[in-house]
Amino acid sequence: MLFTILTLFPEALESYLQVGVLGIAREKGLIEVRLVDYRDWARDRHRTVDDRPFGGGPGMVLKPEPIADCIEWVDDTWGPHRRIALCPAGKPFRQADAADVLASERVLLVCGRYEGFDQRLIDELAIETLSIGDFVLAGGELPALCVVEAVARLIPGTLGDERSAVLDSFQAGGLDHPHYTRPRVWRGRGVPEVLLNGDHAAIDAWREEEARKRTLRVRPDLGSTHSPNTPDRIPRPEGP
């Protein structure tokens, strides 16, 4: 799967793309990520990509010409891409959207800056818009990384245990259950006994109930009546 990210700061993205889940996915050839500086398509010697907004107001707006030229070059060079711009005015990005993006062979992620894009660019090139939350960042680079990682996690072979992606929060609408590891007692706090008795049916029921309670307490807007850990969805490892 090919991700092409259009950004003014490719060097800021490269280090993160080399480590963790994304580094593994790239090393295995599961994803390819290309970084393109759309300032290279500016039309003056100062490589200007922004200008003052018509109608007045603070800040600067990204000009349509250099970004459009860059997008069209990308499609001509590497094939047509699904086009997505990262900006606060976009559709909220959800886990279901990650699965939807995964269905695309090539994805173009355009990172906004300043006050955002000239709307004509979005309309003329039929660019989707996505937002990772109800807050404002300096640019779309971090949201682009979020999208790439959320999608990459769903590709078989990326994670060490593929059950991890199946059981993630939001996969079935609710949040994940609490997790515990060694030591059994830490600062006087013990691990719930149900997790220590080897009764998988009881463990599944506990996880289901804890996930339901957490979802209702933390994210009642999700309205989930079950967790990602419904017993018939949990692949059990072979052996003892």
Per-residue pLDDT tens digits for 133-191: 999 999 999 999 999 999 999 999 999 765 555 555 455 578 889 999 999 999 999 99
Residue 161 · residue 213 · CB < 8 Å: no
Predicted confidence at residue 89, as pLDDT, reads 92
Cα(63)–Cα(109) distance, rounded to whole angstroms? 17
Cis peptide before 183 (omega within 30 of 0): yes
Residue 215 · residue 227 · CB < 8 Å: yes
CB within 8 A of 25, min separation 6: which ones?
31, 152, 155, 157, 158
pTM: 0.84
Predicted confidence at residue 168, as pLDDT, reads 55
Which member of 88, 97, 162, 209 is catalytic? 88
Is 153 noted as a catalytic residue in this protein?
yes
Kindly compute the dihedral angle of the four CA atoms of residues 87, 88, 89, 92, in this order, to the nearest 10 degrees: 100
20-27 and 10-17 helices, crossing angle to 10°: 80
Predicted confidence at residue 64, as pLDDT, reads 97
Which member of 168, 176, 204, 208 is catalytic? 168
Residue 117 · residue 93 · CB < 8 Å: no
- What is the bridge-based pairing of β-strands 32-37 and 2-7? parallel
Which member of 39, 113, 153, 207 is catalytic? 153
Domains and CATH numbers, the chain: 2-152 (3.40.1280.10), 166-233 (1.10.1270.20)
Cα(49)–Cα(186) distance, rounded to whole angstroms? 54
Average pLDDT score over residue span 77-99 = 96
Which of the four pLDDT bands, split at 50, 70 and 90, describes residue 33?
very high
Percent with pLDDT over 90 in the chain? 84
Predicted confidence at residue 165, as pLDDT, reads 53
* 225 pLDDT more than 60: no
Per DSSP, 167 falls in state: T
pLDDT tens figures, 194-209 = 999 999 999 999 999 9
